[in-house]
C-alpha cells in the first residue's frame, strides 16, 4: 500500500473498496495515512465512489455519546496506541475530504465468533467488554459496500 502503482492496479476494475488496512511491525508510523492517500487517489482516478473503511473504535467522532468509560478508554488507547490512532485519523481525514461515498466502520475488540446478523450499529456507547465477531463485521462491511446507503458519510460503530 506504500506503492501507489500497486494500489491503483489492485483497485482498477473494482466496483467498491473495502479497506481493512493495518500497521505491521516495521512499517512507517504513517503507513495508513500514506496508504489511504493512495487508495483515495486510485479510486478517484478510476471513477469509483464507494469506500468502506475500517478503523479502531478509539477513533472518536463528534456524534459519539459521552461516557466517562469511553473517554477513559480513549485516553488509555491514546497512551498505548497513539501512533496507530493518529495514523488512522489521517486516513479518515483524507477520505472525508474527498468526494467519495465513504463509510468509516469502527468496531471494538474483534472475536473469532460466528456470524449472527444480530448486532447494533450507529453512534454507540460502548463498554470495556464490547465485542463483534470478524464474521459479523465482514458481513456489515460488505453490505455497506454493495447494498446500504444508511451510513454513507458517517462513521458508525458496530458491536453486540
Residue 128's CATH number: 3.40.50.720
Low-confidence ranges of the chain (pLDDT < 70): 68-82
Q: Residue 82 has what pLDDT?
A: 63
Whether the model pTM is above 0.75: yes
Q: How far, rounded to the nearest angstrom, does the alpha carbon of residue 64 sit from its chain's CA centroid?
A: 15
Q: Which domain holds residue 86?
A: 4-159
Q: Residue 62 has what pLDDT?
A: 81
| Counted domains in the chain | 1
Q: Residue 83 has what pLDDT?
A: 78
Asked if 4 and 38 count as a contact pair (C-beta separation under 8 A), the reply is: yes
Q: Residue 60 has what pLDDT?
A: 82
- In eight-state DSSP terms, residue 31 is H
Amino acid at each position: 500500500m506504500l506503492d501507489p502503482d500497486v494500489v491503483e492496479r489492485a483497485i482498477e476494475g473494482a466496483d467498491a473498496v473495502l479497506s481493512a488496512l493495518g500497521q505491521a511491525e516495521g512499517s512507517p508510523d504513517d503507513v495508513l495515512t500514506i496508504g489511504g492517500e493512495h487508495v483515495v487517489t486510485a479510486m478517484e482516478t478510476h471513477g469509483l465512489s464507494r469506500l468502506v473503511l475500517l478503523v479502531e473504535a478509539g477513533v472518536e467522532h463528534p456524534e459519539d455519546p459521552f461516557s466517562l468509560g469511553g473517554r477513559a478508554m480513549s485516553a488509555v488507547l491514546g497512551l498505548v496506541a497513539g501512533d496507530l490512532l493518529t495514523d488512522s485519523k489521517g486516513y479518515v481525514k483524507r477520505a472525508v475530504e474527498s468526494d467519495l461515498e465513504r463509510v468509516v466502520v469502527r468496531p471494538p475488540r474483534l472475536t473469532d465468533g460466528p456470524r449472527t446478523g444480530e448486532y447494533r450499529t450507529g453512534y454507540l456507547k460502548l463498554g470495556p467488554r464490547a465485542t463483534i465477531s470478524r464474521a459479523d463485521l465482514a458481513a456489515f462491511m460488505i453490505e455497506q459496500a454493495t447494498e446500504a446507503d444508511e451510513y454513507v458519510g458517517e462513521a458508525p460503530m458496530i458491536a453486540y
